[in-house]
Amino acid sequence: MDQTFSGGVFTETIDGGRAGAEIELLPSGVGARTPDGEAFVIPYRECQVEVGGFSGRMVFCRNADRSLTIFCESPKFAKALSFASSGMLDDQLTSGLKKQRGESRRGFAIGTFFVIAMLLLLVGGYFGIRAGARSAVLALPVSIDAQIGDAAMGSMDLGGPKLDDEVVVGAMQSIVDRLAPTAAIEGIDFRVHVVESNQINAFALPGGNMVVYTGLIRNAENPEQVAAVLSHEMSHATLRHGVQRIGQSLGIWAGVSLLIGDVSGLMGSAVDLMQVASVNSYSRAHENEADREGVRMLHAAEIDPSGMADFFEQLEEKHGDVPGIFAWVSTHPDHASRIASVRAQVAALPSHEYREIEVDWPAVKRRVDEMDGREIDQQPNADQENAEVE
Amino acid sequence: MQHQLLAQPAMSIAKLTLQAGESVTCEVGAMIAMSSGFTVETTSRNRGGGGGLAKGLKRMFAGENFFLNHFTATAPNQTLWIGPGLLGDVMHYPLSGGTLIVQGSSWLASDVGIEIDATWQGLGKALFSGEGMFWVKCSGRGDLFLNSFGAIYPVEVNGEYVVDTGHIVAFEDTLNFKIGKAGSSLIGSVLGGEGLVCKFSGQGKLYCQSHNPPSFGQLLGPKLKAR
């Protein structure tokens, strides 16, 4: 078989030690002919084969004292060499090719490992900072909550005029004052603001500012039902759901600046957030937590906690087809299961002598109803209609 | 084409003398001065050969320019002066049918008979070699001019040889390298300031540069005024 390949030759006898050459597989051995006409031959049985070069596929044939090397990169050369040498060089060729493959595989594996490690580091770093920021927010003193809440309260649209009727506001404040000693954390000063609006709604800002709409009072049959709603809202404040949400929504750079101790950025974004999503939509987990904590507070304050489930049911029966009005519970997708879980929790509580709330409820309702007469805007504020406190 | 290398090694430039009809392909921006008897053609192809868009893009990835300038002499004894962007040496390599692997951005000029192509060096090497992701592969016959940062020195390798990352200018394709650590332990290698090195094996010529641009940049960068 007479085949030629293009390759080269290394030897001291030619100028520069290297030359390009035509490689031929002769019956006597591997032959090379340089463009200058010099010819070299390495007999097959003397041939030491190595595989390497930049491509990793170059075949080198060296003579016994390594003074002459003939090399070729042609992809068909290895096979042709094996054939021409009648299999004499197969062992060397196979082990050389195997070594090269192993090395390129190793390089690829290290590179891939490095790329994956970098990606993991980036992703891990991102979530690490997020998680760190969240716990750093929770580690902040409760006074921060009040600062955020006060700033948000001062600049947010409440959806109606504030009411300063002593009977109504006093009644609400007395309910809150009875619940306050049972709060999960100390240092929150609960202040109630009553706002004239048809919304059946109430919410608490971080730090203790609470807003109750007259719609809620009008629809409650007894003060225990109002206490149930208020205990749920107070729980959002005492469990610091507001600041937790701020921690979750912080951008990565705000998170980093918080971790290195800069709270000013947090304050700015927190107040913005609280205003926009003022009447805080909390996560399902936070809602359930607030329900449980609300029931616990009611029980501890010796107020009948069954008022909570009663009120949910009553509202659904009465206003179930008017979602805008029925703000407090309307958007809960599994409202029924929420009622059931509150009932289950109440049933599991140790029996207790509950004390009535000392509020002249008919008088409070009368004051609110009287206001109906002079209320100009009976419709709920359009902006607030969908912004429910859950 | 005759050539003469001047002002070596720190500020080297090459003076090429071409006869009528001879051509040379240069890196974009390499021309310093020239006689009036040249036509200049800018394309993304090798002269008279293949190439085009894909080759141009590959060259860009290798740290070279998308375009190539072809200078063709229209009169006898036309001189063309070319030089690199950074301070450093210029070397001449007569390519006689083999292949030379050149670090991206080190290719300066070559005979029109030489094919300039980019070649991927593998993921592991691309990340750690301190060179570009691609190398420039020069093959064919003719004169090849390369530039470096600092002086160039040739090393005849037969067996194994170690070069710090970032100091390679070019090597013959009969050589191969892998990335390894300078010392026996990785921590020692890093503390010794050498970190990872390129370990060459095989037989052939290797050209190294005395300085490396990234180290120079790291020294200089902080001292520059912000723009």
Per-residue confidence (pLDDT) for residue B18, from 0 to 100: 92
The DSSP line for B117-175 is EEEE--HHHHHHSSS-SEEEEEEEEEEEEEE-SB-EEEEEEEEEEEEETT-EEEEETTE
- B186 found inside a domain: yes
Amino acid at A359: V
The whole-number average pLDDT for the span B74-83 is 91
- B23 found inside a domain: yes
Cβ-Cβ contacts under 8 Å for A127 (sequence gap 6 or more)? none
Q: Judge whether residue A385 has pLDDT over 60.
A: no
Residue A327 pLDDT grade (very low, low, confident, very high; cuts 50, 70, 90): very low
Per-residue confidence (pLDDT) for residue A123, from 0 to 100: 92
- B227 found inside a domain: no
For B91-120, the pLDDT digits (tens) are: 999 888 788 999 878 889 998 888 888 887
Q: Judge whether residue A377 has pLDDT over 60.
A: no
Please count the other Cβ atoms lying within 10 Å of the Cβ belonging to residue A330: 19
For A236-260, the pLDDT digits (tens) are: 888 888 877 777 776 666 666 666 6
For A4-100, CATH gives 2.30.29.30
- B38 found inside a domain: yes
Residue A273 pLDDT grade (very low, low, confident, very high; cuts 50, 70, 90): low
- B61 found inside a domain: yes
| A130 has a chain B CB within 8 A of its CB | no
CA-based nearest distance A133→chain B, Å: 32
How far is the first Cα of chain B from the last one, in angstroms, to the nearest whole number? Answer: 44
Per-residue confidence (pLDDT) for residue A136, from 0 to 100: 75
Per-residue confidence (pLDDT) for residue A121, from 0 to 100: 93
Per-residue confidence (pLDDT) for residue A323, from 0 to 100: 46
Residue B161 pLDDT grade (very low, low, confident, very high; cuts 50, 70, 90): very high
Mean predicted lDDT score pLDDT of chain B: 83
Per-residue confidence (pLDDT) for residue A274, from 0 to 100: 65
How many CB contacts within 8 angstroms connect chain A with chain B?
A: 70
Mean predicted lDDT score pLDDT of chain A: 80
- B46 found inside a domain: yes
Residue B29, domain extent: 2-221
SS3 A150: helix
How many structural domains does chain B have? 1
- Cβ-count burial of A314 within 10 angstroms (0-12 exposed, 13-18 middle, 19+ buried)? middle
Tell which A residues from 9 to 48 touch B, by Cβ distance under 8 Å. Answer: 10, 17-20, 35
Q: What is the ipTM for the molecules in this complex?
A: 0.73
- B169 found inside a domain: yes
Q: Could you tell me the CATH number of the domain that includes residue B79?
A: 3.60.160.10
Q: Judge whether residue B89 has pLDDT over 80.
A: yes
Q: Judge whether residue A1 has pLDDT over 60.
A: no
| Helix segments in A140-198, DSSP class H | 142-155, 166-179
- Residues of chain A with Cβ-Cβ distance to B174 below 8 Å are 8, 10, 52-54, 58, 60, 71
Contact residues, chain B to chain A, C-beta under 8 Å: 96-99, 101, 119, 122-127, 156, 171-176, 178-179, 201-205
User: Do B131 and B168 touch, CB atoms closer than 8 A?
Assistant: yes
More confident of the two residues A378 and A274: A274
Tell which A residues from 45 to 84 touch B, by Cβ distance under 8 Å. Answer: 52-56, 58, 60, 69, 71, 73
Per-residue confidence (pLDDT) for residue A379, from 0 to 100: 44
Query: What separation in angstroms does the CA of A177 have from each of A10, A271, A337, B146?
Result: 98, 26, 30, 86
Per-residue confidence (pLDDT) for residue B222, from 0 to 100: 84
Residue of B nearest to A111 (CA): B124
- B226 found inside a domain: no
**Domain extents in chain A:** 4-100, 140-385
- Residues of chain A with Cβ-Cβ distance to B171 below 8 Å are 54
- Residues of chain B with Cβ-Cβ distance to A69 below 8 Å are 203
Residue of A nearest to B120 (CA): A55
User: How big, in percent rounded to 5, are the helix, strand and coil portions of chain A?
Assistant: 55, 15, 30
Per-residue confidence (pLDDT) for residue B225, from 0 to 100: 82
For A168-204, the pLDDT digits (tens) are: 889 999 999 998 888 888 888 888 999 888 878 888 8
Query: What separation in angstroms does the CA of B149 have from each of A198, A252, B98?
Result: 79, 41, 25
Cβ-Cβ contacts under 8 Å for A101 (sequence gap 6 or more)? A56
**Neighbour-count burial for A233-250, b at 16+ CB within 10 Å, e otherwise:** bbbbbbbbbbbbbbbeeb
Per-residue confidence (pLDDT) for residue B186, from 0 to 100: 65
* Beta carbons of B96 and A20 less than 8 Å apart: yes
